[in-house]
Every structure is written in C-alpha cells, then in structure tokens.
C-alpha cells in the first residue's frame, strides 16, 4: 500500500502553504500534489455555493487519473484535499454523487494508506481570507457550506479509520 498524506480544511486554512513548504524543505522525501478542484476552478466560471454536478464529476475524474501517478511516485505524496475532501464538497453541493464517490474512495483505499492533516482556522480568520467569488451577504452561507465539508470530512476519517491530526492555523 502506498502511504500518502492528505491535507484537508477550509479554503484559506493553509493547506497548500503547509504541504508546499514541507515538500520544499524536504525535497528528497516529499512531493506536493495540489488540489484538483483548484485547477478545475481556474478553467471554468465557478461559484462555490452553486450546485456544480458537472464540476464535481470532472474533479473526481481527474482525481482518479492522478491516483495512478501517486502510485508510481517515488517520494511520499503530500496531497491536497484528495477524495476525502472532495466527498465533503459533495455533501455541501452535490449529495446525489456521494454513494458513487464513496465507492471510489473505498476502491482507492485498497491501494492507498492515507494519513490526514486537518488544517483548521476560526470563522474570523476565514472571513479575513475569503477568496471565493461570492456576494458580501453570502459570507455566513459560505461558513455553513464549509462546516458541512468539515463535518463530512471528519466523519469519513472515522468511517474509514483514517488516522488524522488537527493543526490550528
């Protein structure tokens, strides 16, 4: 089984910064793999609070494709979000896809041994770091959205016995 480290948390929590810094500090040990969702967001018109079933399907397609690269990686992969976090997004935005994607996660766990790092920030810090394209009156809705993702992600850690630590940033 391939050990990977998965970084989960709200946007702006510091997942990318933490994982990239580890990979840069220890380049012989770690390789950083950025969030697939971010790559797809840069290619399309996107609003995090809108249902995005096509978006979520594309993220999962690319995530599964990337998993092949992770298996052949000679260094320890530091993966931002991965399937665990993507299912969290589904819970908040496209719940009809959860059964199918939970099956994908279960299949990937035959090959991967994830260790998770949940990077947590307070609501106030989150408010100061929001980069989402939303209206100012949607901030509380965005916080609720990320609370669903957090709850789902933590539940998946439990359901699939994925060891994790929480880092308060």
pLDDT digits (tens, 9 = 90+) for 112-131: 999 999 999 999 998 888 77
Residue 133 has pLDDT above 90, yes or no: no
- Provide the whole-model pTM: 0.91
CA–CA–CA angle 55, 18, 107 (5° rounding)? 45
Nearest to residue 119, comparing CAs of 82, 165, 75? 165
Q: What is the tens place of the pLDDT at every residue in 1-48?
A: 999 999 999 988 999 999 999 999 999 999 999 999 888 877 876 666
Total domains in the fold of the chain: 1
Average pLDDT over the chain, rounded to an integer:
91
Q: What is the tens place of the pLDDT at every residue in 144-160?
A: 999 999 999 999 999 99
Nearest to residue 40, comparing CAs of 81, 99, 92, 95? 81
Range of the domain at 40: 2-168
For residue 85, the domain's CATH number is 3.40.50.300
CB atoms within 10 A of CB 168: 10
């Amino acid at each position: 089984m391939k050990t990977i480290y998965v970084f989960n948390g709200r946007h702006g929590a510091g997942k990318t910064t933490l994982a990239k810094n580890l990979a840069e500090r220890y380049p012989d040990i770690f390789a950083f793999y950025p969030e697939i969702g971010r790559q797809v967001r840069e290619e399309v018109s996107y609003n995090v609070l809108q249902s995005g079933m096509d978006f979520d399907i594309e993220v999962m397609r690319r995530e599964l494709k990337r998993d092949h690269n992770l298996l052949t990686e000679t260094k320890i992969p530091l993966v931002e979000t991965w399937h665990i976090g993507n299912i969290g997004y589904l819970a908040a935005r496209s719940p009809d896809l959860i059964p199918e994607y939970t099956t994908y996660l279960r299949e990937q766990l035959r090959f991967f041994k994830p260790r998770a790092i949940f990077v947590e920030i307070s609501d106030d810090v989150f408010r100061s770091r929001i980069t989402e394209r939303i209206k100012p009156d949607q901030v509380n809705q965005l916080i609720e959205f990320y609370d669903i993702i957090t709850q789902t992600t933590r539940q998946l850690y439990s359901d699939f016995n994925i060891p994790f630590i929480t880092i308060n940033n």
